[in-house]
Amino acid sequence: MRYLLPVLILVALLAMLMLRGYVHSEILADHRVRPPAPTHQVPEEILNGGPVIDARDKAAPKALSIPDRRLVLTFDDGPDPVWTPKVLDQLKQYDAHAVFFVTGTMTSRHPELVERMVREGHEVGLHTFNHPDLSYQSTARIDWELSQNQLALAGAAGIHTSLFRPPYSSFSDALDDKSWPVTQYIGSRGYITAFNNTDSEDWKRPGVDAIIKQATPKGTSGSIVLMHDSGGNRSQTVEALGRFLPQMKARGYRFTNLTEALDAPSAHTKVTGPELWKGKAFVSAVAFSENTTEVLVVGLAAIGVLVFARFGLMLVLSFAHARKVRRRGFSWGPAVTRPVSVLVPAYNERECIANTVRSLTASDHPIEVVVIDDGSTDGTADIVEAMLLPGVRVLRQPNSGKPAALNNGIRNARYDIVVMMDGDTVFEPSTVRELVQPFGDMRVGAVAGNAKVGNRDSLIGAWQHIEYVMGFNLDRRMYDLLGCMPTIPGAVGAFRRQALDRVGGMSEDTLAEDTDITMAIHRDGWRVVYAERARAWTEAPETVQQLWSQRYRWSYGTMQAIWKHRGALVERGPSGRFGRVGLPLVSLFMVLAPLLAPLIDVFLLYGLVFGPTQKTIAAWLGVLAIQLVCAAYAFRLDRERMLHLISLPLQQLLYRQLMYVVLLQSWITALTGGRLRWQKLRRTGAVEAPGVIPSPRRSSEDRRPVA
């Protein structure tokens, strides 16, 4: 289910967009209009007859006329949610009936209006589903247009109709050798085709007086009058009806349905059984698609505004943070020169542990190194002990998990400042010194370092490198100034031991113990800050499966931590300040917003295929440009080469989808009450820090340089 559900959601989303595009004439629409053709094949009695063509008998087609003093008002292209109700109100006020030739697209989107037409005694006819010029279409497409139009009509009003008007039609004498075969075929399918012989030309919006003049037949002649209740602003049509209806009634005219004027049986046939339920299901699906898509578009727009606002806030606050900590004479307080304890929890880290410990012994700050072997089975502890390095101790314990290993290290640490790192990470000589300087401010309880991807020479490594520099470190600058840093990275972080003791040490309640402890320290009233020069080089996952496992644990652990500390939302003091600023930011941008990430690409794909392609590409490039600016600024702050930003467009298309599936899996695990255990990633030990003496255990061919 964890693999199937994300795929099903994406397929359902794409299906909803396709259905919406279909009923908005963006998919399968054909807007070609054929120019006039010769009329040699059209019978004279048709060209010279009335506006109603009954071609159900192919051998003897008939042209029917409307009797004197009868007017059949017809309205095309609706129903429209704005103008159709106003037209119906005018007809109801003057007790007049009319014929509405509706399209399937509008009927399926506004079924309540068609139901009102039928309920108030008006007649409904087909005007095709997508409004194409049928002279361009095959008989299969014509059948499809008719059947889909009838399907929508059944779902909206529970009826079928035998009346039809072709799109782009005019008077019956305009039939030609291209449109006459279509009229014959329509007749063979059991339909009567209704043209008109009085065109109000209201679609031109010539003014109310002109509409009334053009809609008025000569003398007492009966007529079919063409008007429109959709397709644009129909205010002139509505106003004209308010004058036209009483004027013509005063002249003795009756406004009737078409079949009533012809003294024929009603065109409506009641639909029951499967056909009725199919129609209702189709209309319901359209309504669900419309409503869901509108909600998604609104949600995406809201998230988009928030994301852009966040980008702007990140840029401004990151600039302010860099300016603050880089100005001449800046200090956190008295220089911190006393020794600190560095804890290295390790489980089966034989490939990396030697590089990690060796990088620490090169530190220019006095330290003790405590390696906590968490029941390794690959000889990790033996490797460290065999190195015989001064100031390095090994603690062995049964396999109990990383939080237990860190708590064991805290209990055995000799100093009041504790630095924590991962067993696959290496420090530069200055990392510890830079990391502990903020503790010169006695209000600081924890410090986040600058974690960097060491193995960035692969595509997936480059993507994570961009994410670390832009998504993590730029964020930390912003969170530092806002006073709500959500996570001290496990790869490089430092804690005041007093702060750890006050919150009970590392908790085993969540899989994101680094996020959990950071939130707890915030709630206890300590400051948590970011030290940009405290660089650590970590080995990022090198395969999609490894990345999946890591991010699955991160996202699920973050959800656990947010839920655990939810009480901060209603508390007072430092806990409440963090709860009302930090928790909403983390929830919005790390848990909720990424779930909408696929919408960007689904709408992009839809726009490229069915929508305004150029505008879609321009919009996507605009968003990409904003992200590129933020990424370039983040790279500049971290003094990183811009070369890796070449892969940013591909990262946005592919990497985001992977993170979406991971996050959705985390949601499923959380909502179903599932449990997720620690997953051990395979390491190569290829990462080394600049300035550290290379390990003699690895050849230059195996080592992957990072600078």
Dihedrals phi, psi of 418, to nearest 5 degrees: -120, 120
The contacts of residue 677 (CB under 8 Å, 6+ apart) are none
Token reading at 144: 């499809």
Which of the residues 97, 127, 131, 228 is marked catalytic?
228
The contacts of residue 8 (CB under 8 Å, 6+ apart) are none
Phi-psi region of 273 (alpha: psi -120 to 50; beta: other; left: phi over 0): left
- Is the Cβ–Cβ distance between 487 and 518 less than 8 Å? yes
Token reading at 526: 């300590």
CA distances from 163 to 87, 150, 267 (A): 20, 11, 6
How many Cβ atoms are within 10 Å of 140's Cβ, its own excluded? 8
The separation between the first and the last C-alpha atoms of the chain, rounded to the nearest angstrom, is 43
CA distances from 344 to 127, 486, 531 (A): 75, 22, 20
Q: How far, in Å, CA of 67 to CA of 517, rounded?
A: 87
CA distances from 329 to 326, 533, 565 (A): 8, 16, 38
Torsion sign (Cα): 332, 335, 338, 341: positive
Amino acid present at 150: Q
Q: Label the pairing between strands 268-270 and 159-161.
A: antiparallel
Question: In the structure, how many helices (H) and strands (E) does the chain have?
Answer: 25, 20
Q: Which of 442, 417, 237 is nearest to 342 (CA)?
A: 417
Q: Which helix (H) or strand (E) holds 275?
A: helix 273-326
What single-letter DSSP state applies at residue 537?
Answer: E
The contacts of residue 456 (CB under 8 Å, 6+ apart) are 462, 464, 465, 540, 644, 706
Is 76 one of the catalytic residues?
Answer: yes
CA distances from 541 to 146, 381, 453, 458 (A): 56, 23, 10, 11
SS3 percent helix, strand, coil of the chain, rounded to 5, is 50, 15, 35
What single-letter DSSP state applies at residue 448?
Answer: E
- Is the Cβ–Cβ distance between 97 and 251 less than 8 Å? no
Token match 């109000």: residue?
200
How many Cβ atoms are within 10 Å of 495's Cβ, its own excluded? 30
Which of the residues 76, 176, 475, 514 is marked catalytic?
76
Q: How far, in Å, CA of 538 to CA of 545, rounded?
A: 18
Q: Among all residues, which ones are annotated catalytic? A: 76, 228
